[in-house]
Amino acid sequence: MKSLGTNWFIEGSIDFEHKKYILLDYLQEINRHFDKSKLYPNLTDLIFHFNNLLYFKKNKTMLQQAFPQRLTQADLDAVKLTYQKIVDDDNSMKEIESIITYALQQMDPAIQTGKEIYDFVESRLNIDPVGIVPLMPYHGYFSLRNGRERTNWIYEYQITIFENKDDKFRGININFIETYEQSITKTPEALKLDLIRRNKYLPNPAVYYVHSDITFPLEQTLLPVAKRSLVKYISKAA
C-alpha cells in the first residue's frame, strides 16, 4: 500500500496543492482497499495519520519545534545528524494549518467507512467456547472459519495486559499452528482433544471456535477483527 511519512505535511515543499495531491493519492488507494473489504493495515495507518494531525493542530508549539529540518552535517562516527531550520515564518505556518485542516476533513469520511466495515465484519462473527473454559482463559487456542469455507485456521493465543498511568489495556499475541478441513468427524471438539494430546505444555487450554457467516479477506480483515473480538469476549466473560 502507498504510505505517508509521519510528518508528510511539513516535509519537503510546504505547498497546499502539492500536499493535497499526495493526500488524495493516498486516500484513493485506501478507499480501493476498503471497496474490497480489506481493512488492515489501511485503517490502522489512516487513524494514525489522523491522530497525528490532530496532535500537531492542538500543539502548535510542538508543530514549530518539529518543523522540517535540512541536513547540514553528518557525524559519521556517532551516526548523528545536525539540522538547520528550513522555515520559520507566519506564511508557512498558515499554509501548514490549511494543509492540516483539509487533510482532517478528507480523512474523516474514509475513517468512518473503515469503521463501518469493521462493525459489519464484527457483526457477522460468532465466538463459541469449546467444552469447559478454564478459570484463567488467557492462554489457549482458537479455530477460525471464514464463511462457508471448510478450512479452519488454528492459532494459539495469549492475552497480554499492559498499562499506562491512566488505564489498563489488553492485547493478544497469536501463533499460527495449522489448518484442518472441517467435517463430521473433524469438529472443534475433536480438535481440542487433539491439541491437548499433542501439546502437553497446555494441559487445560481455553479453546474457542470463531466463525463468520460471510467470507472476508482473511489476513487483511477477518483475522484482525477476530483477534480483537476474542479479546473483548474473553475480557467480558472472565
How many other CB atoms are there within 10 angstroms of residue 133's CB atom? 17
Residue 79 clears pLDDT 50, i.e. is over it: no
Chain CA centroid to CA 168, Å: 19
pLDDT at 62: 56
Whether residue 232 sits in one domain with residue 132: yes
Range of the domain at 224: 127-237
pLDDT exceeds 70 at position 123: yes
Q: Report the chain's mean pLDDT, rounded to a whole number.
A: 85
Residue 200 has pLDDT above 60, yes or no: yes
Looking at the predicted structure, is the pLDDT value of residue 84 above 70? no
Instruction: Return the percentage of the chain with pLDDT > 70, whole number.
Output: 82
Tally of domains in the chain: 2
Q: Does 2 fall in a domain? A: no
The answer to whether residues 88 and 149 belong to one domain is: no
Tell me which of 71, 97, 122 is where a domain ends.
122
Same domain for 64 and 132, yes or no, is no
What's the pLDDT score for residue 31? 95
Which pLDDT score is estimated for 98? 92
- The verdict on 187 and 226 lying in the same domain is yes
Q: State mean pLDDT over 17-37.
A: 95
Cα–Cα distance measured from residue 119 to residue 45, given in angstroms and rounded to the nearest whole number: 18
Tell me: do 133 and 109 sit in the same domain: no
Residue-wise pLDDT for 110-122, tens only, equals 999 999 999 999 9
Q: Are 75 and 154 in a shared domain? A: no
User: Is residue 5 situated within a structural domain?
Assistant: no
Are residues 115 and 150 part of one domain?
Answer: no
Mean pLDDT computed over 37-62: 87
For residue 29, is it within any domain? yes
Whether this model's pTM surpasses 0.85: no
Asked whether residue 80 carries a pLDDT value surpassing 50, the answer given is no
Question: Per-residue pLDDT averaged across 58-63, rounded?
Answer: 63
Residue 198 located in a structural domain: yes
User: Which residues, listed in sequence order, are joined to residue 157 by a DSSP beta bridge?
Assistant: 140, 174
> Per-residue pLDDT for 38 more than 80?
yes
CB within 8 Å of 149: residues ≥ 6 apart? 215
Dihedral Cα 23, 24, 25, 27, nearest 10 deg = 90
Q: Taking 90 as the threshold, does the pLDDT of residue 151 lie above it?
A: yes
Instruction: Please name the residue that has the C-alpha cell 482433544.
Output: 193
